[in-house]
Structure 1
Amino acid sequence: MPSSPATRPVGVFDSGVGGLSVLQALRHELPHEHFVYLADSGNAPYGERGDAFVQRRTLAIADFLHRQHGIKALVVACNTATAAAVEPLRAAMPQLPTIGVEPALKPAARGSQTHHVGVLGTRGTVTSTRFERLRREHEDGTRFSVQACDGLAHAIEQSTEEPLPAAASTTKIGALCARYTGALGTFGLKTGEIDTLVLGCTHYVFAKEALRALVGPDVQIVDTGAAVARQTRRILAQAGALAPESDAGDTPVAPGRVALYTTGQLAALQAAAQRWLGLPAQCCAALPPGGTPI
């Protein structure tokens, strides 16, 4: 385990492959950092499970990444896990800087011209106390229409798995997106219409093309990846734990390493990493059943 905080990796985890959208933003913002990503795909989706289950998984995964990989910070790249478990996690592991993700209601409200914002999220996220508190903080002058999207994260997760054909997977995701955007209301720039759509689940970033086709070119679609990456940079800088960008002789340091693990199907993680991040299959590994404390 590296002894210098600057050279230790940043941990990132999600219930599945959705958090790869956050990892993508993190790598763009912090190209010299090493990252260890864990997809808990064997237990996905979190959004339709209870808080107690999500809290147990979150604490176990954080402990595993801290002990086995010596992470210097943890990004909980899952809206559901953030809503259900980030506060218990910070209480249990106060020594570990932890960054959560939550639906970007503040920037959406600030940027909306019609003052009507649509929010798509998992049921676990949009029914949580944390989300309700966030909505109340920003609803002055802004109307939020909120839709729980049962099955959408799971369909996106499945889209990287065999034997489901790609065409069938795309059709299923498109149908779910159409159902849930249709339930929100009318999109557009006219008074009363929804002009901003918040993606309240990291998986949904990978359905952005289908969502764009449904809501039209004028509606802004907001996710949290870039904001989370900037917050991670700030926290690492405050702790004096940013990876160096050059060595003592001012020679640029090579880009950081990335290791990805899954509790589910290895082929699915490899396909997602290649498709969405351009990472080779050898970056990925499966955690053997019973071989880890998680």
Structure 2
Amino acid sequence: MDRRDFIKNTLLSTTFATLGSFSVFSDLSAPNSSSQRFTLNYAPHFGMFEKHAGKDPIKQLQFMADTGFKALEDNSMRDRSIKEQKHIAKEMKRLNMDMGVFVAHSIGWEEPNLTTDDKDAHKKFLEEIRASVDVAKRVNATWMTVVPGRLHPRLELPYQTANVIEVLKKAAKILEPHGLVMVLEPLNPLRDHPGQFLTKTSQAYEICKAVGSPSCKILYDVYHQQITEGNLIPNIEYAWDEIAYIQVGDNPGRNEPTTGEINYRNLFKFLAKKGYEGIIGMEHGNSMAGKKGEQAVIEAYRACDPG
């Protein structure tokens, strides 16, 4: 699943048809699922359960909460209207749900942006970070995703790394007074994102150490790192002090746990033993269509949850 299509599709699937209803509908409960909350803080995204809940994001949030999920992840939150953002935040507060990441800026999928020494590219990024502070406050978010963008074809990697560190230091100074955190996401270059600068855990760790700010941490996406480097638990352990957010998806396929090669039962058990209380973003698709596929997602997380 291409990340650009993922973001586009989740936004389109949750366009607000109505903004008025806050009542809880009795038919939104997940069939054959316990309403007990999960032990770990898994965060579905809009569209994941719309066959059960319908297209209205408010009803989808109600369904998530009724099913036991305690958080929401929405990459496209920055692109939603202020009215939509406030409406979602109000309902999440009522349901006692946490807000996960949203994408904080325009990612350089085709052209270098943070890897370059182009001051205009850096200026645009910093302006978007400032705007994302307002988004975060509206939706009660702490974390926002940052992807440094495409490799520069005419600069050696150390120069690109220096450029990225320089602009991230400036971004951190914007975020620190608000207690907000940008999380750097390494992406796999073999299947989904060839040509991207940031690909490995160790690379993100080095950058975070160089920036030296509590507002610059790592988003560890298990799906991407299984493809890029494997050795999942040892790499998470080594980079633990810089990891602030986790996303999941099985490989191959980028669907729910138990559909691929990753042992999510052991991984979630490891995270629980480490005392991880952060959000685990469900940035993946459903392996099957329709209500059956949505139910399979819920059951997969029940089966892997260490509680």
Same fold (TM over 0.5): no
Q: Which has the higher strand share?
A: 1
For normalisation by structure 1, the TM-score amounts to: 0.32
